[in-house]
Structure 1
């Protein structure tokens, strides 16, 4: 990634966020912990899903954090890249699917 420099989050950021709104911060951290705990899906699968979603939402911090977490959970580079390709197809698929709105607005025109 070139051009835009994304700031790194620090412990000071986390402490300030908590000091400004401790209740929601604690609730979010507990929610996150519960979501990524093994359940019907194992932790690696959940992290691969998170990698895909992070690419769709285009959050560089989420991409970094969840790729690292996926690796810690044993995901291979190939699995991570495959999850990213799934995300790319889903994002493109959504644009394709929403074309019906434009088609309805265009009407019965059959020529380009």
Structure 2
């Protein structure tokens, strides 16, 4: 699947990024490896969390990479979709919760 709005990352991109900022590249890779290592959460769960977050942040590269990683870790299609629904509910829930700010600004509701 290709989308012209979102170019595919290539080895040339990775090489250029590394050439420009090798210390940051190495630190980011080490951080990522540490985050996704088995710990209190297993790798499958961590990847499902990443799938959900990728949908909230709307990063197409993250969606692709973490859906593939979740499947490699044994996540079912249903588990992936449920993670996306959790993300959708949380995103909608934030809008709902923030309505309190607007309700305070609107006052006592005496006007339509």
Smaller-chain TM-score bracket: over 0.9
Gaps of 5+ in 1: none
1:67 aligns with 2:70: no
Measured in 2, the distance between the counterparts of 1:98 and 1:6 equals 31
Measured in 2, the distance between the counterparts of 1:90 and 1:44 equals 20
Please report how far the alpha carbon of residue 52 of structure 1 lies from its aligned counterpart in structure 2 after TM superposition.
0.1
Please report how far the alpha carbon of residue 94 of structure 1 lies from its aligned counterpart in structure 2 after TM superposition.
0.1
Q: Pick closer, same or farther for the CA change 1:62–1:100 going to 2, 3 Å.
A: same
Gaps of 5+ in 2: none
Structure 1 runs, 4 residues or longer, greater than 4 Å off: 1-4
Report the TM-score when normalising by structure 2. Answer: 0.95
* RMSD over equivalenced CA pairs, Å: 1.7
Query: In the alignment, what sits opposite 2:45?
Result: 45
Query: In the alignment, what sits opposite 1:16?
Result: 16
